[in-house]
């Protein structure tokens, strides 16, 4: 893992938190299952990190060679 990946993971944590705060501004959270909500944001974080780290590397390797 290099510096780009580390910076992306840190900023992705902040980005996921920003999405959470933005959604909580526009929608009420009274009837939300907290476990499902936490799980969905965690899956969003993991999926976006996985796509950036692995698929971007494969994409650049395929098209820049």
Task: Give the DSSP per-residue string, 2-47.
Answer: -HHHHHHHHHHHHHHHHHHHHHHHHS--TT--HHHHHHHHHHHHHH
User: Which tens digits make up the pLDDT trace of 18-52?
Assistant: 999 999 999 888 888 999 999 999 999 999 999 88
> Rounded to whole angstroms, how far apart are CA atoms 45 and 30?
24
> CA triplet 51, 54, 57: central angle to 5 degrees?
115
What tokens appear for 50 in the block?
């996985």
Domain layout of the chain by residue ranges:
3-64
Q: Is a pLDDT exceeding 70 seen at residue 1?
A: no
Q: Is a pLDDT exceeding 80 seen at residue 65?
A: no
This prediction has a pTM of 0.77
């Amino acid at each position: 893992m290099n510096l780009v990946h580390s910076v992306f993971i840190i900023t992705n944590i902040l980005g996921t938190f920003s999405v959470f705060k933005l959604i909580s501004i526009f929608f009420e959270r009274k009837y939300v299952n907290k476990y499902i909500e936490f799980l969905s944001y965690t899956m969003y974080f993991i999926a976006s990190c996985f796509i950036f780290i692995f698929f971007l590397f494969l994409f650049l390797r395929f098209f820049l060679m």
